[in-house]
Amino acid sequence: MSKISLKHSGGNVVSLNSPTSAPTSADVAFKLPNADGTSGQVLKTDGSGNLSFGADTGGKILQVISTTKTDSFTTTSTSYTYITGFSAAITPSSSSSKVYVIVHVNSAATTRYASFRLVRGSTNIAVGTDITGSQEAVTFTAGSNTSNSYDNLILRNQSMAILDTPSTTSATTYKLQGRINYGTGDLYVNRQPYTDTTSTYVVRAASTITLYEVAA
In this prediction the pTM is: 0.73
Whole-number pLDDT of residue 154: 86
Whole-number pLDDT of residue 96: 96
Report the sign of the C-alpha dihedral through residues 114, 141, 106, 154, in that order: positive
Mean pLDDT of residues grouped by 10 in the chain (216 residues)? 67 70 58 60 66 68 98 97 98 97 95 94 95 94 78 87 97 97 94 90 95 96
Whole-number pLDDT of residue 58: 65
Whole-number pLDDT of residue 123: 96
Whole-number pLDDT of residue 151: 77
Per-residue DSSP letters for the chain?
--EEEEE-TTS-EEEEEPPSSPPPTTTT----TT----TTEEEEE-SSS-EEEEE--TT-EEEEEEEEE-S-EEE--SS-EEEEEEEEEE--SSTT-EEEEEEEEEEEESSS-EEEEEEETTEEES------TT----SEE----TTSTTGGGS-EEEEEEEEE----SS-EEEEEEEEE-SSS--EEESB-S---SS-TT--B--EEEEEEEE--
Query: In the chain, what are the domain boundaries?
Result: 3-55, 61-214
Would you identify the CATH topology of the domain 61-214? Jelly Rolls (2.60.120)
Whole-number pLDDT of residue 152: 72
Whole-number pLDDT of residue 15: 72
